[in-house]
Amino acid sequence: MNTDPDIADAFKKMDSTGARRHVFLCVGPNCCATEAGLATWDVLKARLKELNLPALRTKAACFRICRGGPWMVVYPDGIWYGGVTPDRCERIVREHIVGGRPVAEWIAQTHPLL
């Protein structure tokens, strides 16, 4: 166990207590323009915070698909969404993260880790 107080503070700030999902977003530059990826990231970050959802979020630079992004993966469901624009992100948050119903027409792949 790490005893570094700065790391302990970082985990406390992250507050993973009660997290039900972990959302990863690839923001480019290979799968999409970085600006497009970051615009979607801003929406994801704001909505999860605004709704105070029990979900973690992680921004990534590459999921090794390198086309059709930005890519979003929602775990533990293992749902992969491609072409996630800010508007699509809003709907995914509303229907999948909040409502528990993946947006079927945008699912590119499913690979749950349960």
HEC string for 38-64: HHHHHHHHHHHHHCCCCEEEEEECCCC
Instruction: State how far the Cα of 110 lies from the Cα of 75, in Å rounded to an integer.
Output: 10
pLDDT attached to residue 1? 65
Q: Could you give the domains of the chain?
A: 23-106 (3.40.30.10)
- Continuous H helices in 1-114: 5-14, 34-50, 86-92
Query: What pTM was estimated for this model as a whole?
Result: 0.90
pLDDT attached to residue 113? 78
pLDDT attached to residue 2? 66
Low pLDDT (below 50) residues in the chain: none
Whether the Cβ atoms of residue 31 and residue 68 lie closer than 8 Å to each other? yes
Q: Is the dihedral of CA 25, 76, 96, 55 positive or negative?
A: negative
Instruction: State how far the Cα of 80 lies from the Cα of 78, in Å rounded to an integer.
Output: 6
